A and B are shown apart, each in its own frame.
Chain A
Amino acid sequence: MANMSLKKNEMPVQNSEIRSKNFGEVALGYTEEQAIDEAKRCLQCKNKPCTKGCPVQIDIPAFIAEVAEGNFEEAYKIITKSSSLPAVCGRVCPQETQCEAKCVRGIKGEPVAIGRLERYVADRHNAKEQAEVEKPVANGHKVAVIGSGPSGLACAGDLAKKGYDVTIFEALHIAGGVLSYGIPEFRLPKSIVQKEIDGLKELGVKIETNTVVGKTVSVDELMDEYGFESVFIGSGAGLPRFMNIKGENLNGVYSANEFLTRINLMKAYKSDSSTPVQTGKRAVIVGGGNVAMDAARCARRMGAEVYIVYRRTENELPARAEEIEHAKEEGIIFKFLTNPVEIKADEKGWVKSIVCQEQRLSEPDASGRARPVPVPDAFFEIEADSVIMSIGTSPNPLIKSTTEGLETQKWGGIIADEKGLTSKDGVYAGGDAVTGAATVILAMGAGKTSAQAIDEYIQNK
């Protein structure tokens, strides 16, 4: 008998008062009882609308049916047929616009908590003593993967399972890409990312950190000199954008990338870190996406009073509802219909305040969202010690500028077909490097699609 409760089982979370002062994970995860109870809310629809909402088409009703029966390992197997990073995606996927948005239970009441169940299944599996992974039989073909973020990890994992000799090249000193440098510990513990990476290593994937493709080695060299038969580019969209307003280069103004990298990758939140970060008493974050929420919540945990300024209204915030909710609970103050026009300095060249202009919403723009227009003469000033620009990122131009014959869009995205094939024979690309900044799950899906295409390409050579 299905559980007909209109509400999801609530996710146990760290108290907002306490968590706004630590970097421990916010959402604590379901208990076994909660997971089974929630799984019983699933109506097991025959046409599986939720699966259609999933970018990698996980057989959601099937895994939930196993959870309801207490067969957690079976559930894990079903998920990992389609997803490479369930513990990650269960945490950071925007389920409310994907699988859960299609859930029939959501028509009247809340949808089934698919994301929370995915996380429970993955965490339960990961907590167990893992049986030794059987290494796939080597097929003797070498493939290079550039970047160890979600798309690269997914691509490498699928190819390694097919017996390919895969090497991932990573520019930073730690693997994981945005999972390591971008998403904070309190939302995605780094031990989970490490677990996924260790899993790949057990499959035989080699990871070469400290290698900047385009500088240390070129794509052509990988193919011509190092003997890689195919290359997958998953270099992400890591180039921060700025607003080009006065004062943007003052001391105390960070790109969200820099701020988050200092905190997550370089552990600047720990008192013994050798990498500094200056948040000050009040931080103003510019932007309304998930990255802005991450930056704001990090700044809060560094002890600052935090403002988020966003030029549209709450309805247009691109961040996930859950992140916005968590940010509010942690005391972050939102200033909507507000756009910065200048950052002012104190006498030492540090940020003193940010001058903003009120906006009003007008007819929709190309993105389909109401366009903000400035209200004449409606300026006001917010005092601040730091300003964090979180208005988006573009694909990194390093690979494009050093790879002859690799075509890109005007805005920098690598041009690739639906299977990830670029303008260069044997070279595939996927994730944010192709689409511009998007989600972990879409990047992971692109990595999997390209892995399939690379396999076909090499087998048919």
Chain B
Amino acid sequence: MFEILEKRSLNPTVTLMKIYAPKVASKGEPGQFIILRTDEEGERIPLTIADFDRENGSVTIIFQIVGATTEKLNHMNTGDCLKDFVGPLGRATETEGLKKVAVVGGGVGCAIAYPVAKKLHETGVEVHSVVGFRNKDLVILEDEFRNASDKYVLMSDDGSVGEKGLVTDALKKLIESGEKYDRVITIGPLIMMKFVCQLTKNYNIPTVASMNPIMIDGTGMCGGCRLTVGGEIKFACVDGPEFDGHLIDFDEAMARGAMYKPFERKSHEATCNLFSQEVK
């Protein structure tokens, strides 16, 4: 069983948990992910590894409460145990040979962008982090990001924190001002990554996007996580989750990502009702 060692709310809909999983912690690298089940009847959901502590055997996950499973997960507390926790899955972020990188994160994607920035920073790479949120209340990991970045640009849709505007505006400004990146790494909503990739293509900057599609087993068995990259079918779980952003068919990925939205909404509501009944 995988004990929750720590639980902390990062914003009203985003929660951080440290999970005791020594085998995963001993192998995990930034860019990789895990799959968990909360209980015997639960579904399998993939979450990217946000951090790990090899000595204490813990793995940090950060999740947004969007469906029934993340709702259930959010109702668990320190000391509770997850039923299943498997990983590390997928390929780690490639950082070799990089000198200057822009890490572009959006929303809860910043939770995944952060360990990448941290690793790059630790290995002596110059890191410019451009992060965006809808508003001030949703900002996460600000201190952590600042500590892992040579430059930190915070954007918000409504201007309630940082600069008003999109991450692409900020990235464009940086590039136009003469910053030369040998890679852009982007993690966040598909629509954001799509526009980041369109932008960097204009400047011919190699760009990697981290995909987080629907998956079941995470080992290449179901093919549910497939996407088209450069005209070929790839499985995010074993070939990714990071791919050449200039080759990803984002429109297809967005359609596939929405496949179970109605089901998710319904089952999320059902779970919420269940919890509110328990409270009564």
Sample of 7 further A-B pairs with CB below 8 A, known A212-B89, A274-B42? A171-B219, A240-B223, A244-B233, A254-B224, A257-B223, A272-B41, A278-B260
Q: Which of A360-398 contact B (CB under 8 A)?
A: 396-398
User: CB-CB < 8 A to A215: which residues of B?
Assistant: 27, 87-89, 219
User: CB-CB < 8 A to A212: which residues of B?
Assistant: 86-87, 89, 218-219
Check B83–A173 contact: CB distance below 8 A: yes
A173 to B216, CA, bound (A): 11
Quick one: closest B residue to A182, CB to CB? B221
User: CB-CB < 8 A to A255: which residues of B?
Assistant: 222-224
Q: Given A212-B219, A249-B228, A276-B263: A217 and B23 within 8 A (CB)?
A: yes
A272 to B68, CA, bound (A): 12
User: CB-CB < 8 A to A173: which residues of B?
Assistant: 37, 44, 83-84, 86
Listed stretches B126-134, B155-163, B251-259; interface member: B251-259
Check A240–B86 contact: CB distance below 8 A: no
- CB < 8 Å: which of A254, A261, A266 contacts B221? A261
Q: Which of A172, A258, A274 has the most CB of B within 10 A?
A: A274
Interface residues on B, range: 35 or more
Quick one: closest A residue to B263, CB to CB? A276
User: CB-CB < 8 A to A252: which residues of B?
Assistant: 259
Quick one: closest B residue to A214, CB to CB? B219
How distant is A139 from chain B, measured CB to nearest CB, in Å? 27
A265 to B43, CA, bound (A): 10
Contact surface of B with A, Cβ cutoff 8 Å: 23-24, 27, 37, 41-44, 68-69, 83-89, 216-224, 226-228, 233, 238, 252, 255-256, 258-260, 263-264, 267
A113 to B217, CA, bound (A): 38
Check B233–A216 contact: CB distance below 8 A: no
Contact with B along A253-274 (1 / 0, CB 8 A): 0110110011001110000111
Quick one: closest A residue to B253, CB to CB? A249
Name the 4 nearest CB pairs between A and B, nearest first. A349-B255, A258-B222, A210-B86, A255-B223
Check A249–B219 contact: CB distance below 8 A: no
User: CB-CB < 8 A to B256: which residues of A?
Assistant: 249, 251, 349
A415 to B28, CA, bound (A): 30
A contact residues, total (Cβ < 8 Å): 41
User: CB-CB < 8 A to B223: which residues of A?
Assistant: 240, 242, 254-255, 257-258
User: CB-CB < 8 A to B233: which residues of A?
Assistant: 242, 244, 248-249
User: CB-CB < 8 A to B69: which residues of A?
Assistant: 274
Check B222–A261 contact: CB distance below 8 A: yes
30 contacts between A and B (CB under 8 A): A209-B84, A212-B89, A215-B27, A216-B24, A216-B27, A216-B88, A238-B220, A240-B221, A240-B222, A242-B233, A248-B233, A249-B227, A249-B233, A249-B256, A250-B255, A251-B256, A254-B223, A254-B224, A258-B216, A261-B221, A261-B222, A262-B216, A274-B41, A274-B43, A274-B69, A276-B267, A278-B259, A278-B260, A397-B220, A398-B219
How distant is B119 from chain A, measured CB to nearest CB, in Å? 19
Check A396–B267 contact: CB distance below 8 A: no
User: CB-CB < 8 A to B24: which residues of A?
Assistant: 216
Check B221–A239 contact: CB distance below 8 A: yes
Q: Is A211 an interface residue (CB 8 A)?
A: yes
Q: Given A215-B88, A216-B24: A249 and B252 within 8 A (CB)?
A: yes
Check B27–A257 contact: CB distance below 8 A: no
User: CB-CB < 8 A to A257: which residues of B?
Assistant: 221-223
How distant is A173 from chain B, measured CB to nearest CB, in Å? 4
User: CB-CB < 8 A to A15: which residues of B?
Assistant: none
Check A396–B89 contact: CB distance below 8 A: no
How distant is A150 from chain B, measured CB to nearest CB, in Å? 16
Check B88–A266 contact: CB distance below 8 A: no
Q: Is A275 an interface residue (CB 8 A)?
A: yes
A210 to B85, CA, bound (A): 7
How distant is A408 from chain B, measured CB to nearest CB, in Å? 15
User: CB-CB < 8 A to B88: which residues of A?
Assistant: 215-216
A272 to B238, CA, bound (A): 30
- CB < 8 Å: which of B42, B44, B220 contacts A398? B220
A322 to B91, CA, bound (A): 43
User: CB-CB < 8 A to B260: which residues of A?
Assistant: 276, 278
Quick one: closest B residue to A209, CB to CB? B84
Check B216–A266 contact: CB distance below 8 A: yes
- CB < 8 Å: which of A171, A254, A348 contacts B217? A171
A444 to B259, CA, bound (A): 38
Q: Given A215-B27, A397-B220: A275 and B86 within 8 A (CB)?
A: no
Quick one: closest A residue to B262, CB to CB? A276
- CB < 8 Å: which of B23, B27, B44 contacts A266? B44
A273 to B260, CA, bound (A): 14
A278 to B261, CA, bound (A): 12
Q: Which of A407-439 contact B (CB under 8 A)?
A: none
User: CB-CB < 8 A to B23: which residues of A?
Assistant: 211, 216-217
A47 to B247, CA, bound (A): 63
A250 to B88, CA, bound (A): 28
